[in-house]
Amino acid sequence: MSEKITRCGYVAIVGRPNAGKSTLLNVLLNQDIAIVTPKAQTTRNRIQGMLTAGNSQIIFLDTPGILEPKYELQNFMLSEIKTALRDADLVLYIIDAWKFNPEEFKNSEKILQSDFNEGKVIIVLNKIDLKSEEDVMRIIESLKNILPKADVIPISALEKFNIESIIEKISIRLPESAFLYEEDEITDKPEKFFAAEIIRQKVLQMYGEEIPYSVFIDIREFKEREHGKDFINADIVVERESQKIIMIGKHGDKIKSLGEEARKEIEMFLGRPVFLKLFVKIRKDWRKDKTFLKSNF
């Protein structure tokens, strides 16, 4: 009896900010491992998620949104995208059908430069539920003219429409290989990473435009306990005193609400009770500090 042929490989998920990359990753894995907010540039690091389906194991690399970098953090984010493209066997290029602009799409290719290989691209046209069928067909035709070698799959990640087509298309194009992870594993990131991401997501959701992207979550302690609640001690790092005042709120009401919401979400994710302690710290212009970014990202 012949041995079962298995396929395994890396698939980078790339696209402009708010194209729906993290939403798609969560839907593909049927698990929320990438934070999603209406704010652009929510994803900062490559987030690795694994999907084992039949004879194939797909290792997804979620990446930050493609944009012209304006400060050091964005330079780091762009380097994350380029590294993912170099590591990947295939690339899922996510396009927002609602905001599609051919020139902006071409500019994204220019930003990626030589790291972009058209031959291994699958274009995923997302949010087609927001456009008419005629508009969707026109966008697909435009994309095929720009990247004639690429497959185009129309989907709605939010509505979970046509997701299986993505998995099927990836699976047949992966290289033959043994699985690199256990079949029940869905991510290689530690729990500490997800605790920080959940806190950051709650900051972006609860403070709106009051607190921009100048927020970094530093998990100082993460202790699992056999008896009693796990202990998480985290610093919320901002750039200015005015941001610290906003974060804390009058009589500490804002930071208390944030802690309660984040704790509930972390407990749901971990499946066990936690004690969460939050502090707000100031580190001026940390997004421009190469030394800080190198040691924390």
Residue range 150-183, pLDDT digits in tens: 889 999 999 999 999 999 999 999 999 999 999 9
The 10 Å CB-count burial string (b at 16+, else e) for 229-239 is: ebebebbbbbb
CA 45 to CA 79: how far, in whole Å?
10
Give per-residue burial for 95-109: e unless 16+ CB within 10 Å, then b. bbbeebeeeebeebe
pLDDT of residue 111: 67
Are residues 138 and 203 located together in one domain of the fold?
Answer: no
For residue 40, pLDDT beyond 60: no
For residues 14 and 156, membership in a common domain is answered with yes
Q: What is the pLDDT of residue 172?
A: 93
Query: 43: pLDDT confidence band, cut at 50, 70 and 90?
Result: low
Cα–Cα–Cα angle for 264, 267, 271, nearest 5°? Answer: 145
Per residue in 224-271, pLDDT tens? 988 889 999 999 999 999 999 999 999 999 999 999 999 999 999 889
- What residue spans of the chain are helical by DSSP H? 21-29, 72-87, 102-112, 133-146, 163-173, 191-207, 241-248, 253-270, 290-296
pLDDT band at 104 (very low <50, low <70, confident <90, very high): confident
Q: Is residue 207 part of a domain?
A: yes
Higher per-residue confidence, 234 vs 119: 234
Pair (282, 246) in one structural domain = yes
| pTM of the shown model | 0.76
Structural domain contains residue 65: yes
Tell whether 85 and 127 lie within a shared domain.
Answer: yes
In this predicted structure, what is the pLDDT of residue 127?
Answer: 95
- The residue from 106, 140, 173 where one domain ends is 173
Higher pLDDT, 260 or 41: 260
Strand-pair category, 90-96 with 7-15 = parallel
Q: How many domains does the chain have?
A: 2
Which tops the pLDDT comparison, 23 or 297? Answer: 23
Please tell me the predicted confidence (pLDDT) of residue 1. Answer: 46
Q: Which residues have a Cβ under 8 Å from the Cβ of 221 and sit 6 or more positions away?
A: 231, 232, 233
Give the pLDDT score at 74.
76
pLDDT value for 35: 59
What pLDDT score does 212 carry? 60
**More confident position, 35 or 205:** 205
Contacts of 94 (CB under 8 A, 6+ apart): 13, 14, 15, 19, 20, 21, 24, 124, 126
Return mean pLDDT, the chain: 86
Has residue 114 got a pLDDT over 70? no
Enclosing domain of residue 227: 191-296
Q: Note the pLDDT of residue 217.
A: 93
Other CB atoms within 10 A of residue 17 CB: 15
Q: Which of 115, 144, 173 is the last residue of a domain?
A: 173
Domain boundary among 173, 207, 242: 173
Query: What would the mean pLDDT of 77-100 be, rounded to a whole number?
Result: 87
Work out the pLDDT band at 2, boundaries 50, 70, 90.
low
- Measured CA to CA, the distance from residue 258 to residue 110 in angstroms comes to 40
Residue (of 225, 238, 220) closest to 277 by Cα position = 220
**Are residues 159 and 223 located together in one domain of the fold?**
no
Q: How confident is the model at residue 42 (pLDDT cuts 50, 70, 90)?
A: low
